Amino acid sequence: MTTFVANVPGEDIYVATSNLSEPDIMLAVTGFVRSIVVWAARTFLKDNTFARLAQLIRGKSVTELYHYIAEMREFARNMVDMVRITSVTH
């Protein structure tokens, strides 16, 4: 699941704030709020899965995005192979 969540475009915040006079402040606030949510999920809810997923929904560098897309494609290939093997054996 983390592979697919990691591909959620965090750049939408850039588009949403592009016509504002100070979009960098909005991005900093968003990152700050996300870090508080991640901390609270780990500390109080003891939910590392949610915390990890919340960390992944953000803007990513091209290298990071390429890495996650490659992971997603590999997962999809493995899933197709597994379905083919399962359908042949039944």
pTM score, whole prediction: 0.53
Crossing angle for the helix pair 23-43 and 48-56, to the nearest 10 degrees? 170
For 19-50, write each residue's pLDDT tens digit. 555 555 555 657 888 889 889 999 999 999 88
Position 56 scores a pLDDT of: 79
Position 23 scores a pLDDT of: 52
Size of the chain in residues: 90
- 57 with 5: CB under 8 angstroms? yes
With 90 as the cut, is the pLDDT of residue 74 above it? yes
Position 5 scores a pLDDT of: 60
| Domain-wise residue ranges, the chain | 2-89
